[in-house]
Structures are given as structure tokens and as C-alpha cells.
Amino acid sequence: MYIAEAFKYRYDFWRYVIGTLLVFVGVVIGQIPLGIAVFLERGMEIAEMTEGELMQVLDSNFTFFLILLTFAAGLGVLLLVVKLLHNQPVKSITTSRKKVDWGRVWFGFGLVAAFTIIVTLIEYSVNPEDFLVNFQPVPFAILVGIAIIMIPLQTSFEEYLFRGYFMQGLGTLVKNRWVPLIITSVCFGGLHFFNPEVTQMGNLIMIYYIGTGFLLGIMTLMDEGMELALGFHAGNNLTAALLVTADWTAFQTESIFKDISDPTAGIDVLVPVFIIYPLFLFIMAKKYGWSDWKNKLFGRVEKPETIKLSEES
């Protein structure tokens, strides 16, 4: 069982509290280069600026890199925390399998990437007036280089933090699966509350973010590992960054298209969560033979007998 992997190592809950604080410090340190760049350019504090304003102060690709560098720093600190504070190998916070299944990572990546590309092209063909062709070869090539390297670090940080570190830590504390699933999904969605999309489209968009958290959490629990979630999250963010940008999105990039429509949150928020996401889970369930949904999503998390015996002795 994936969550029970943590029982094999140092799983005292105080370690997770300290580890979370250290990761937060790592993220703050990761923001320093962006703050320095903005200060040198304009002498303004980064806290006073929106991401759109940052893009106007600095080159958009450079700003994109510096924003993602924050997540890369957080990932580095998190992996050190897992290794040094919990004495836990990265493999065991990634999967319960004997080794990481990269085939699953690529399947999750390819599934959402193909879907996003197809849907974007359909939207462009149906409503071309909502898009500008934003493609510029040199800036786009630079964006591709940055995105391929940095976006997987950004998405891996979020996955290792929520579906890995927090899910295992909460699971060993409460000894069940449904509490970690709910808490990590809601917290993951809440992390996006200050995104410019929420300001533009209203709080209804939070259904999408929290729903995405549940999707990734269900993938992890049903598959007893994070590989599908790691690939899916990276594929989603990478294709989004390369295909479409807008003045009101968190990532404003040198993408192929620019959405100039007036964004509203309505049925387009509910369809992915209640129709598309269940379809993704159905495809994965068929491919990987998922079963025993009730136990894997709501069952107890038991400490392995071998660990119990060693502790008693």
C-alpha cells in the first residue's frame, strides 16, 4: 500500500510539521532571484506587483523561468527533507512498486496532452475570433526549452508535496485513506485561490482546482503510486503553457495562441470535473485493472506486521 510505505521510515508527525516549515522556507528562498531581478529593473517590491505586471517589467520568458525556479527550490528542499529528516528514499514516496514505472508517467502525460491539444484546436476552429496567433519562432523556442525543463520540476513539487509527503504523513496519523484524500485535494485547490484566474472568473473556478486535486489524489490511491499523477500534471501544465496564454492567466507565456475572449466561469468549469475527469479515471482503471475502489479510497491504513513485530521486539 502506497501510504503505508511511510511506516517503514521515520514517520513521527512532528517530523512532517518541521519538514513542511523547511519546505516553506525553501520556497521563500527560491523567490529571491525573482525579487532581485525586479528590484534591479524597477526598484519595486515583488509583493506589490501582479504576475502580469512582472511580465511587463521583465522579459516574459525570463519571468516565467524565475517563477518556476521558486517551485524547483521547493522540490529540492522537500526531497532533502524526505531523505534526511525521514530517512526515506525518494522511490518510496513516489510509488509502492519495486521501482518507479516510467511507462505510467508517460501514459498520464500523453493522455492529458493529447486531449488538451485536440480540444484547443477544436476551440480555435469553432471560435477563431477568440484567439490571436501569438507564435514568434525565437521566443517560442526559448519558451519550449524553459518549459520542458522547469515545468516538470514545478508540477513534481506540487505532486510530491500534496500526493506524496502530505498524503503519507496524514495517512500514518489518521490511519485511513479518505481523510488524506480530502485534505490534500482541498488544500491543493486552495493553493490556487490567489491565481489571477480566480479574480477574473470568480470563486466558482475553485471547483475546477479542487476537483483536479481529487482527480490526482484518486489516481495516486487507486494506482498505489504517484506515477500517473506526476505525468498527468506535467502534461497538463506543459501543453497549457505552450499552447494558449491570456492576460488573466497565472502563466503568461510566448505561447502559440493568445486567448482574447472574455472569460467566465460556468458550465465550462463543471464539464471537466464531472465528465472529463471521470472519463480519464475510467480509461486508467481499464488499462491498469483497478479494483476494490471502496477500500482503496476509504479503507484503513494498517502498519505492516513486520514493522509491528520489529517495534515490539
SS (H, E, C) 18-41: HHHHHHHHHHHHHCHHHHHHHHHH
Q: Which of 291, 296, 287 is nearest to 96 (CA)?
A: 296
- Rounded-to-integer distance, Cα 224 and Cα 92, Å: 11
Overall size of the chain counted in residues: 313
Residue 55 predicted with pLDDT over 60: no
Residue for cell digits 486508467?
284
CB-CB contact of 43 with 63 (8 Å): no
Residue 282 sits at the vertex; the CA angle it makes with 280 and 284, to the nearest 5 degrees, is 70
Domain ranges across the chain: 3-312
- Rounded-to-integer distance, Cα 250 and Cα 154, Å: 13
Q: What is the pLDDT of residues 129-139, one digit of tens each?
A: 999 999 999 99
In whole angstroms, how far apart are CA 253 and each of 43, 52, 182? Answer: 24, 10, 32
Predicted confidence at residue 264, as pLDDT, reads 77
Residue 162 sits at the vertex; the CA angle it makes with 204 and 307, to the nearest 5 degrees, is 145
- Average pLDDT, stretch 272-296? 97
- % of the chain residues with pLDDT over 70: 92
Residue for cell digits 491570456?
246
Residue 48 predicted with pLDDT over 70: no
Q: What is the pLDDT of residues 67-102, one digit of tens each?
A: 999 999 999 999 999 999 999 999 999 999 999 999
- % of the chain residues with pLDDT over 90: 77
CB-CB contact of 75 with 160 (8 Å): yes
- Rounded-to-integer distance, Cα 82 and Cα 5, Å: 13
The region of weakest confidence among 49-63, 224-238, 239-253 is: 49-63
The dihedral sign for the CA sequence 73, 76, 172, 99: positive
Torsion (CA) 127, 129, 131, 133 in degrees, nearest 10: 120
Cell numbers describing residue 135: 507564435
Predicted confidence at residue 44, as pLDDT, reads 55
Predicted confidence at residue 290, as pLDDT, reads 98
Predicted confidence at residue 247, as pLDDT, reads 84
Classify residue 137 as exposed, middle or buried by CB count within 10 Å of its CB (0-12, 13-18, 19+). Answer: exposed
Give the HSE-up count for residue 71: Cα atoms under 13 Å, Cβ half-sphere: 19
Predicted confidence at residue 197, as pLDDT, reads 86
Q: What is the pLDDT of residues 26-36, one digit of tens each?
A: 999 999 998 88
CB neighbours of 105 closer than 8 A, spacing ≥ 6? Answer: 227, 228, 230, 231
Return mean pLDDT, the chain.
Answer: 92
CB neighbours of 98 closer than 8 A, spacing ≥ 6? Answer: none
CA–chain centroid gap for 87, Å, is: 24
Residue 170 predicted with pLDDT over 80: yes
- Average pLDDT, stretch 4-22? 96
